[in-house]
Amino acid sequence: MQKESFKPQFLATGVGSLPLTNGEDALDLIWKSVPLAPHWPQLPRLGAESSFVGQYLNALIETGVIADVKDPKFQVEATDWVERMTDFYTLYLEAIEGDQHALERFGFSSRGGEGFEVFCRNLEHYGTRDAVILKGQLIGPLTLGMQITDKSRRSSYYDDTLRDMLVKTLALHAEWQTKRLSRFGLPVLMTIDDPELYGFGASTHITLKSGQLIEELNAIVEGILRQGGIAGVHVCAGMDWALLFDSKVQVVNFDAYGYMQSMMALAEPLNTFLTRGGILSWGIVPTNPIAWEETAQSLKIRLENNIEELVRRGVDESLLRQQSMLTPSCGTGTLPIELAEHVYKLLSELGGPGGFV
């Protein structure tokens, strides 16, 4: 399967995180539930290095730009701050120019990448089995920039230099991760998980500009594309999805259970996105206790009703059905284990070996 002709037809995969602390157990659940599109398990309960934020800071910490993964802050007040920045940008340029050792430093730390390495070892030992695509994930630049601060607790996203370092770090991490997964001979879907994008257009985030947000996402997408990957974005809230449709992103993964109306309002831009080959990834399985009240059949009816309404609003039904995927509405890393397992069970039953019909 080539990415240019990737027609997922409701292929099911996960968002990323699981509430387990054993990588093998997490992987067993993933292979059992989404065998056609397995993903590596993010394991945030293992600690700060495996957290949603901490996993992607390796190059910044190694160069001293950020000191501590447990309480990450840019060390702008350090007397040798300029030297630390110089070390970072030197490493970045070496990686861009093809130094593989430099690129490796933008990957995971040994502890932070435990779930990823378990996935790779599993693929090396057992092969890709029935999988048709492999999925990876990383944090997005806006979310990371809002979480990482300086010592004054000011979000680094609002500082041009600090934001630039974060975007460059993520772009090279995305390239590194895509390259690693591409070794197994299947298409690679790399999803940028950026929940803070919900704030674009909100009165609380009036300084966010669409052009800047698109430019930053595109910088990361280009790292994925350089390695032949398929680039996606996941946002587990409502937002102005036109921002993503206007970017180079190829897969838009949204919370279709809780925020369907935000997509309904953009039927025309969605249709344009699908026409150019874009894929809509439906986060249709809720990741909260309401999931106990749902069945695969009830979710299927919900999904069909949503499809019917989008078609009524002008979306091409054939494109929509060919170019759709299924996921949980968000990651399951903060859920009780039993609920996370139930979410994946619903996803498995809804996606099934042949996909949603």
The one-digit pLDDT tens for each residue of the chain (357 residues) are: 344 567 899 999 999 999 999 999 999 999 999 999 999 999 999 999 999 999 999 999 999 999 999 999 999 999 999 999 999 999 999 999 999 999 999 999 989 999 999 999 999 999 999 999 999 999 999 999 999 987 778 899 999 999 999 999 999 999 999 999 999 999 999 999 999 999 886 655 667 899 999 999 999 999 999 999 999 999 998 899 999 999 999 999 999 999 999 999 999 999 999 999 999 999 999 999 999 999 999 999 999 999 999 999 999 999 999 999 999 999 999 999 999 999 999 999 998 544 444
Kindly give the residue spans of alpha helices, DSSP state H, lying in 81-209: 81-96, 100-104, 114-126, 141-147, 160-182
| Number of Cβ atoms within 10 Å of the Cβ of 102 | 18
Per the listing, tokens 């197994």 go with: 184
- Please give the model's pTM, rounded to 2 decimal places: 0.95
| Number of Cβ atoms within 10 Å of the Cβ of 2 | 7
Classified by CATH at the fold level, domain 3-351 comes out as TIM Barrel (3.20.20)
Q: What angle do CA 149, 155, 161 make, to 5 degrees?
A: 85
**Strand, helix or coil for residue 55:** helix
Cα 14 to Cα 25: distance, rounded to the nearest angstrom: 15
